[in-house]
Amino acid sequence: MKCARTAGLFLGLALLLSGSLWGEQPHFVNARLQTVSMAGSLASQLESIIAKQNEPAWIAYSVPAIDGSGHMCCGEYEDSMGWTSCSGCRLEGKQGSAAIDREGAQPREVKLESPRSVNILIRVAERRVDRIRVFSSDCDLDAGGLSVYFVPHAASEESIKLLSKWVLENGDEAAGHRSLTGQGVMAIAMHAGVAAEQALDGFTASSQPESLRRQAVFWLGSVRGQAGFEVLKRLVTNDPSEKIREHAVFALSISKVPQAVEAMIRTAHDDPSAHVRGQALFWLAQKAGRKSVGAISDAIQNDPATAVKRRAVFALSRLPKDEGIPKLIEVAQTNRNAAVRKQAIFWLGQSKDPRALNFIEQLLLH
């Protein structure tokens, strides 16, 4: 199966007329599919299914996706003809995420834009939830012969409330996207609407386990845009936990909000922790390039902690060479701290840049 990226007039018109609705049933293969009659809340429907299930099964429903959620599937790639493979995912197996063989994939409607909905998949075993998965609506799903209960027209707010309940019940799990906590937080993050942002913000509260807080911080930076940035700015400024402020700096580095760079610069300058200041400098170099030179140079000159100065020198080494190499040479020549000069010379040597090698040669000759 292939998903073309060509934009023809007739294809565009067809998509406008037959666009995917958020209540559309996911496309399953190798599944004993049953559509559940929606009566009562989403929680009551799911709890009823879970209570009666004596063997492993999946429950599926669809909700509107946040803008920019992208295509969430397995085995996607582009070939030389510019086509993208949308081969789908196997839900069962050792990892539960293997791609469906391309030859066996079913033809699907051509999509010219990111899907407007996401499919939430909940695996039930021994009458409890043991896995939560999220896929975009254009991903084919192989259920491995298990029963799949599809709940149509699920409300986003009910979905977020139910997922939040499961997340909080398992909030002390080890961090990681394979944990039920991590899966649930990711699923919430992919929902459109302010309710998802409110739930993620709640997970960052100081009363919550650190692993849960870190998961929420990551997704606030990764997909929640301006609303996520506002939460991260508050955390990186005021949170008492050094580890959470450090993680919030990383989340700012993957945020697409322009003000994220300014927040990182302030953190590099003002955070009370030398470690957090150093991390802010590192991620600034990765994200901002030339914009970060001033903050990095300021840290080398003025930060009271030698460890931060050394981290700032390393950050210079991560800049594009035309910006980083001259600055490293300047530090190696002029900085009054011997440890900082030594660090600059080390990274100049690692760069293999002709300007750096020439500078080191001149040092050795003198």
311-352 pLDDT per residue, tens: 999 999 988 888 899 999 999 999 999 999 999 999 999 988
Residues 104 and 225 in one domain: no
Domain boundary among 134, 154, 174: 154
Residues 33 and 132 in one domain: yes
pLDDT tens-place string over residues 243-265: 999 999 999 999 999 999 999 99
Residues 211 and 94 in one domain: no
Residues 177 and 281 in one domain: no
Neighbours of 113 (CB within 10 A): 9
Owner of token pair 């510019």? 82
pLDDT tens-place string over residues 205-251: 999 999 999 999 999 999 999 999 999 999 999 999 999 999 999 99
Residues 62 and 203 in one domain: no
Residues 134 and 3 in one domain: yes
Residues 240 and 302 in one domain: no
Closest of 17, 61, 30, 19 to residue 43, by C-alpha: 61
- Asked if residue 155 lies in contact with residue 45, where contact means CB atoms within 8 angstroms, the answer is no
Model confidence, pTM = 0.81
The CATH number of the domain holding residue 324 is 1.25.10.10
Owner of token pair 């012969």? 145
Residues 189 and 337 in one domain: no
Tell me whether strands 117-125 and 128-136 are parallel, antiparallel or unpaired.
antiparallel
Question: Tokens for 341?
Answer: 């000069």
Distance CA 149, CA 122 (A): 10
Domain that holds residue 242: 160-257
Residues 148 and 81 in one domain: yes
Question: Tokens for 324?
Answer: 């980083």
In a 3-state reduction of DSSP, which class is residue 336? coil
Q: What's the confidence (pLDDT) of residue 54? A: 86
Total domains in the chain come to 3
Residues 313 and 182 in one domain: no
Q: What size, in residues, is the chain?
A: 366
| Residue 126 CB contacts under 8 Å (≥ 6 apart), including other chains | none
Residues 244 and 283 in one domain: no
